[in-house]
Amino acid sequence: MNTRYEHISILGLGAMGRALADALLGAGREVTVWNRSAGKAGELVARGAKEASSVGEAVAAGDLTVICLLDDASVRETLTPVLSDLTGTTLVNVTSGSVRQARALAGWLEGHGVRFLAGGIMAVPQSVGTPGAFILYSGPRDLFDRVAPVLGPMGRAHWVGEDAGFAALYDMAALSGMYGMGAGTDHAVTLVHAEGGDLETFKREVLRPWLEQMLPISVDGADASASVPDEYNPAMQAVGLENLLAASGEAGVPAELAGHLSASLWRMRRAVANG
Ligand code: FVH
């Protein structure tokens, strides 16, 4: 197969779809856009994009279509009416969803003769196209190899396997890490604020350097069995977490904000109980 992917269509002009289209236009790609509701394409059209009046028109215009909608249900709702026109097209879905949704979507579309890649965006709209942004893809490696250079301006393309579910798997798991970190940092500043500490000083002089020191240890030491290495002394960690939870309660921080600490405490107690 020697399809040349020179013209890219984007379905979905939410914050992320607009950022993806903008990055592709900035790199000189030919871009056609479509959105369910009107009024979101103006700036992109001013920058050279074409606006399609229907999903079918958008898919037909592009050599490759990137789908960036709210969720799996909206992707299916959008593609179902044009299913018979999708045979022989190339679709890349970067809409967030579960692993099983991604596998089912791949099976459904490949069953209708679509060349399909699943994606997971490791960027926020304002970082799309910057050096730190990357996008996970899973599905056929040969298709990824052809598509990656074309979509590169959206974010560094990174293939994670033939299984269509893997982009979603790594995306969701990475988001779990991010939300865990966010829960910890939100709780940290709430505690400092509640006890009258200086937030700017705390963030700059304590939290950031501490987390920079701990990030590699935390990531490299992460363990799927939820066991705790002996050198971490789980009994000591459990006492420390109990103290931290007590300090949080004394300061009047809502218990819901300390849920991540309860999870860590559960893990330490389990390690102690398991010897
Ligand atoms: N924005 C972010 O920070 C994150 C970063 C990581 C990846 N996510 C995922 O990207 C998908 C799109 O996110 P978004 O930020 O563009 O989201 P919205 O701005 O809310 O835009 C949603 C678009 O989806 C369209 N849409 C919703 N429901 C339907 C439907 N039933 N049929 C057709 N289109 C639908 C919506 O259209 P409209 O409301 O303007 O008519 C927007 O185009 C998402 O999976 C994130 O998890 C972003």
- Report how far Cα 200 is from the mean position of its chain's Cα atoms: 29
ipTM of the complex: 0.99
Pair 141, 86 in one domain? yes
pLDDT value for 1? 54
Q: Which amino acid is at 157?
A: A
| Residue 62: burial class (beta carbons within 10 Å; 0-12, 13-18, 19+) | buried
The single residue listed with the structure tokens 């500043």 is: 189
The whole-number average pLDDT for the span 161-189 is 97
Question: Looking at the domain assignment, is residue 1 inside a domain?
Answer: no
The protein residue with its alpha carbon nearest to ligand 1, atom 47, reads: 96
Atom of ligand 1 nearest to the CA of 71: 45
Cβ 125 under 6 angstroms from ligand 1: yes
Our CA angle for 153, 175, 202, nearest 5°, is 100
pTM: 0.92
The protein residue with its alpha carbon nearest to ligand 1, atom 20, reads: 14
CATH of the domain at 31: 3.40.50.720
The protein residue with its alpha carbon nearest to ligand 1, atom 18, reads: 14
Atom of ligand 1 nearest to the CA of 124: 3
Q: How many domains does the chain have?
A: 2
From 163, 190, 207, give the residue that closes a domain: 163
The 8-class DSSP code of residue 72 comes to: H
The protein residue with its alpha carbon nearest to ligand 1, atom 21, reads: 14
Cα–Cα dist 270/212, whole Å? 28
Pair 130, 174 in one domain? no
The 8-class DSSP code of residue 122 comes to: E
Pair 70, 132 in one domain? yes
Question: Looking at the domain assignment, is residue 111 inside a domain?
Answer: yes
Cβ 13 under 6 angstroms from ligand 1: yes
pLDDT tens digits for 89-124? 999 999 999 999 999 999 999 999 999 999 999 999
Contacts of residues 137-145 at CB distance under 8 Å and 24 or more positions apart, as own/partner, are 137/92, 137/167, 138/102, 138/162, 138/163, 138/164, 138/165, 138/166, 138/167, 138/168, 139/106, 139/164, 139/167, 140/115, 143/90, 143/115, 143/116, 143/117, 144/117
Cα–Cα dist 108/97, whole Å? 15
Nearest to 122 by CA among 93, 96, 91: 96
Question: Looking at the domain assignment, is residue 220 inside a domain?
Answer: yes
* Structural domain harbouring 39: 7-163
Contact 175, 231 (CB under 8 A): no
pLDDT tens digits for 57-89? 999 999 999 999 999 999 999 999 999 999 999
Contact 209, 240 (CB under 8 A): no
